[in-house]
Copies of this chain bind each other. A is one copy, B any other.
Amino acid sequence: MKLLPTIFSWLKRRVPAFDWLAHYQRKQLPGDALAGVIVATLLIPQAMAYALLAGLPPQVGLYASLLPLAVYALLGSSRFLSVGPSALLSLLIVTQVAALAEPGSPRYLAFAMATALIVGFLQIAMGAARLGVLTNFLSQPVLSGFTSAAACHIALSQVKHLLGVPLPRTDHLHELLAELARAVPQTRWPTVAISTASVLLLLAFQYLLPRVLARWKTFPAALAQSLSKSGPIVAVIVGTAIVAAFHLGARHGVSIIGEIPSGLPRFALPALAASELLPLIPLAFTISFIGFLENISVAKSLAAKRRQKVDSDQEFIALGAANLAAGVTGGYPVSGSFARSMVNFTAGAKTGLASLITVVVVGMAALFLMPLFHHLPQAVLAAIIIIAVIGLMDFGMPRRLWRYNKADAAALILTFVTVLALGVEKGILIGVCATILLYLWRTSRPHMAVVGRVPKTEHFRNVQRHEVQTLPHVLLLRIDESLYFANAKYIEDFVLCAAAERPQLRHLVLICNAINFIDASALETLTDLRTRMQDAGILLYLTEVKGPVMDRLARTEFLEQLGHERVFLTTQAAYEQLASASPSPQGVNNAEP
């Protein structure tokens, strides 16, 4: 009966919660409890706001913060990560699903739930297939350009709520801007007053409060950080109270959330035919990747602080399970939130129990507090969203990139512009292709240096940068790149040119210490090069070939044709031998064929 231990060890690996539950210590409880409650106060307004951004009723955001968060707490390999609704995923939902159903309708909700289900299956499958590595092909510039452009989209979509004007939904940026310009004269000033006050309050909590509290030396730093994140719940409470007290909703036309049904979500599958799910597949792929990326980067940051490991395949599976949970409990796609996870971490969370406490608090709110949110103005939620996504826009990045590497900056700008102009999916695809082509372009023109010996040493340096010794019949060439198809011809041309310019040349030495790989195309080019050099009376030598490269070369005819005696361990050894060799070595076919 070895089955039971096998199952148990599998469960232990796949359900990290067993580990922290089995070793739970009483002293961890206060930190977990405090963090759980604080995260809940941030999560409740954010969840409702993001649900509205996604075109869904506010309670859907809460539902997506209950079972999914609990499932992740049990399965996730990070102990601090807080999953739930995210601004980016909400944007993806509204731009794609609005083409299939009317936002706010039950059918729209069914599509959102179905997307979460498909995302869940995809993420679990990708985790099982160890495809987490695929996300590596999204480069930093593409990611940054995409995030900034998405943040712009999100912020612009909220302007109507800040101004209190009705606007038709549109995917096209220029239409949105035109509609906004047309609607500005209808601005409702009571709404603008609430928006402005909310924005100022949020900014004050986020940027002013920490400074003020920092002066108060004895104030605990962790509590100060948590307090500075409590702006949203304060804005919600104050905004709702004012609107309710002065009847701004009914009298001054301030848009309010209205009735939110109390209670917990029920288990249900989305009421859609299987064939209706097909158009969701591309969206689900995008969300799977973007959601995972958000998740894994937060998880890694937090785990590193405690020298813990994050298993990216387990993360994929845990996030997938959370999405499945969202899909069967009336939620929509979720991912790890950077802001809430940081709050969780700094408020003192030690284990996943913190998230379970958050779930209890949110659940209580869904059961008993919904009537209190009746008068919550949309403008407050819009302000919360805008302040949240403004943090996602990184305008320093393009400047830094421009200084560091123009090609990367170009990829960022291209992605930003195409995501804004053509939408998220096309924009990302174009950005990824552009970075790959730029990378190939870069490695296709490698740095090469003709080197000479620094007098009285064994060092060899670039002849253009240093005073070095050279020999007229010997050319020492260092290639600073692996050899592969895209740069093989470039290197060949360089060598052939160098040979054509030096009539006295008899020995060509390639210094290979920066060559990590030689692919088949480059090997073919090297073979041709050796023959052509030989035809022209020039002998080819290699020095400082790395172990793995040499192992591969040993399997080829190239090395036999070249001769093992033409491969030197060090450039110094080659230099000494060739310096003493006659300028026109024997056994070389120097005549015309």
Chain A residues packing against B (C-beta within 8 Å) = 133, 135-141, 300-301, 303-309, 312, 346, 400-401, 403-405, 408-409, 435-436, 439-440, 442-444, 446-447, 462, 465, 480-482, 484-490, 492-493, 496-497, 499-500, 503, 513-514, 516-517, 519-521, 523-525, 528, 532-533, 535-536, 546-548, 552, 555-557, 592-593
* 13 contacting pairs across A/B (C-beta < 8 A): A133-B489, A137-B440, A137-B485, A139-B521, A140-B488, A300-B532, A303-B496, A304-B532, A404-B555, A408-B519, A436-B440, A439-B440, A439-B519
Chain B residues, CB < 8 A from A503 = 307
Q: A484-B439, A514-B514, A546-B480 are in contact. Are A500 and B309 (CB under 8 A)?
A: yes
| Sample of 16 more A-B contacts, CB < 8 Å, known A135-B489, A139-B519, A304-B496 | A133-B490, A136-B444, A136-B485, A138-B485, A305-B532, A307-B499, A309-B500, A400-B556, A400-B557, A405-B520, A439-B484, A439-B485, A442-B517, A447-B516, A465-B547, A480-B548
Q: Is B309 a contact of A497 with CB atoms below 8 Å?
A: yes
Instruction: Provide the residues of chain B in CB contact with A401, threshold 8 Å.
Output: 520
Contact of A593 among B135, B305, B443, B519 (CB under 8 A): B305
Chain B residues near A487 (CB-CB < 8 A): 136
CB neighbours (8 Å) of A490 from chain B are 133, 136
Chain multiplicity (copies):
2
A447 to chain B, nearest CB (A): 6
Contact B519 A555 (CB under 8 A): no
Cβ-closest chain B residue relative to A222: B593
What is the bound-complex CA distance between A307 and B591, given in angstroms? 11
Give the CA-CA distance A136 to B496 in the complex, in Å.
16
Whether A404 lies near B552 (C-beta < 8 A) is: yes
- Are B140 and A521 in contact (CB-based, < 8 A)? yes
Given contacts A140-B485, A487-B136, A514-B514, contact A496 B309 (CB under 8 A): yes
User: Once the chains are docked, how many angstroms separate the CA of A519 from the CA of B548?
Assistant: 24
User: What's the minimum C-beta distance from A557 to chain B, rounded to whole angstroms?
Assistant: 7
A462 / chain B contacts, CB cutoff of 8 Å: 547
| Contact across chains for A140 and B300 when beta carbons are under 8 A apart | no
Kindly state the separation between the CA atoms of A520 and B488 in the bound complex, as whole angstroms.
25
Q: With the chains together, A301 CA to B493 CA distance in Å?
A: 12
Task: Please give the distance in Å from A143's CB to the nearest CB on chain B.
Answer: 8
A312 — which chain B residues lie within 8 A by C-beta? 493
- Contact yes or no, A307 B137, CB < 8 A: no
Known: A493-B312, A513-B513, A556-B400. A592 touches B305 (CB 8 A): yes
- The residue on B at minimum CB distance from A141 is B520
- Interface of A (DSSP majority class): helix
CA distance A492 to B141 in the complex (A): 18
Residues of B within 8 A of A593 (CB): 305, 346
Rounded to whole angstroms, the CA-CA distance of A141 and B552 in the bound complex is 17
Q: Which residue of B lies closest to A407 (CB)?
A: B519
Query: A312-B493, A516-B447 are known contacts. Are A404 and B523 too (CB-CB below 8 A)?
Result: yes
Q: Which residue of B lies closest to A411 (CB)?
A: B520
Asked, given contacts A309-B496, A488-B136, whether A536 binds B304 with beta carbons under 8 Å apart, the answer is yes
Q: Are A485 and B139 in contact (CB under 8 A)?
A: yes
* Docked CA distance A276–B513 (Å): 55
Task: Give the CA-CA distance A129 to B486 in the complex, in Å.
Answer: 18
Residue of B400, B523, B536, B548 near A307 (CB, 8 A) is B536
Q: Which chain B positions have C-beta within 8 A of A552?
A: 404-405
Question: A137 vs B523: C-alpha distance in the bound complex, in angstroms?
Answer: 15
Chain B residues contacting A303 (CB-CB under 8 Å) are: 496
Set of chain B residues within 8 Å of A500, measured between Cβ atoms: 307-309
- Whether A485 lies near B305 (C-beta < 8 A) is no
Given A141-B521, A403-B555, A404-B520, A301 and B532 contact (CB-CB distance below 8 Å):
yes
Chain B hits for A519, CB < 8 A: 139, 405, 408, 439, 442
Say whether B304 contacts A548, CB under 8 Å: no
Once the chains are docked, how many angstroms separate the CA of A435 from the CA of B436? 12
Residues of B within 8 A of A442 (CB): 517, 519
Tell me the smallest distance from the CB of A71 to a CB of chain B, in Å.
25
Max chain B CB contacts within 10 Å: which of A139, A462, A525?
A139
Q: How far is the CA of A442 from the CA of B137 in the complex (A)?
A: 13
What residues of chain B lie closer than 8 Å to A523, measured between beta carbons?
Answer: 404
Given known contacts A485-B138, A514-B514, is B405 in contact with A306 (CB within 8 Å)?
no
Q: A484-B439, A556-B404 are in contact. Are A140 and B496 (CB under 8 A)?
A: no
Q: Are A136 and B548 in contact (CB under 8 A)?
A: no
The residue of chain B having its C-beta at the shortest distance from the C-beta of A480 within the complex is B516
- Asked whether, in the complex, the Cβ of A137 is within 8 Å of the Cβ of B521, the reply is no
One of B309, B408, B516 near A520 (C-beta < 8 A) = B408
Question: Is there contact, CB below 8 Å, between A136 and B489?
Answer: yes
Q: Bound complex: CA of A592 vs CA of B444, how far in Å?
A: 46
Closest to A496 in B: B304
CB contacts (< 8 Å) of A517 on chain B: these are 442-443
* A485:B557 contact, CB within 8 angstroms: no
A444 contacts across to B, CB distance below 8 A? 133, 136-137
Closest 3 interchain pairs by CB? A139-B485, A304-B532, A140-B521
